Amino acid sequence: MQITIVVGASSGIGRATAVRAAQGGAGVVVTYNSNAEGARETVRLVEEVGGTAVALPLDVGDSATFGAFRAAVVEAVAATWGERQVTGLVNNAGFGGGTPFAQLSEELLDRTYRVLFKGPYLLTQTLLPLIADGGAIVNTASSSAGTAGLSEGYSAYGSMKGAVVVLSRYLAKELSGRGIRVNSVSPGPTRTRLGGDAFEKYPEVIPPLVERTALGRLGEPDDVGAVIAFLLSDAARWVTAQDIEVSGGFNL
């Protein structure tokens, strides 16, 4: 049976990915940090499309908890689906940028590193024994790691997301012997809760972003979730070591 762990699935892209994976027939392990209610809603939406999901707490910024999380995954997967392994892992947890370089504190830089790069790196390492041969890993990066249309305030965020893209290529190489595919997706501006619900609080930022987007609108979580679900599926069985920008032609 296909079982996917979606890290950071209490809202936004993670939630959309969980629902899409369930529509494709996968069981889903949903993780959340502070938004337990959002995780329960994701589980409800998965069940609404005929799937099965369980929600587990996880702080991606605290690697000391990863061993206990792996044990919880083992227990949940066995109890819910009678399985011992998972077939997919989506590293999606994170938080937004927006702090100018000159004002970025060492504390915030360290947190950005822990959540956006160190966390996914060590969590994947911790969960690797649970991922079945022939499985798939998808890491959420960002178009902010690109070379065009850079926005001030994203030096730390974009740098860590760039590291995620490079990590994904190396993992694709190192895990190829087990048939595990590894790819990343780089969303453009997408209507999520990142940045403290910035798009809800500051709707005036949306029109300038839409003007810079070839397809003429802001991205929605399902635009990205659909691509992640594809990369997890057998339809993408010959795709690995790729970064796919999912931006509607942002800065094209």
Active site positions, annotated:
157
Q: DSSP 3-state helix, strand, coil percentages of the chain (rounded to 5)?
A: 50, 20, 30
For residue 41, what are its two tokens?
Answer: 């809603």
Assess contact for 80 and 87: CB atoms under 8 A. no
Half-sphere exposure of 144 (CA within 13 A, CB side): 20
Classify the C-alpha dihedral 172-174-175-178 as positive or negative.
positive
Closest CA to 41 of 5, 76, 15, 13: 15
Assess contact for 188 and 143: CB atoms under 8 A. yes
Interatomic CA distance for residues 194 and 190, integer angstroms: 9
- 3-class DSSP state for residue 220? coil
Look at the block and give the residue holding tokens 């501006």: 189
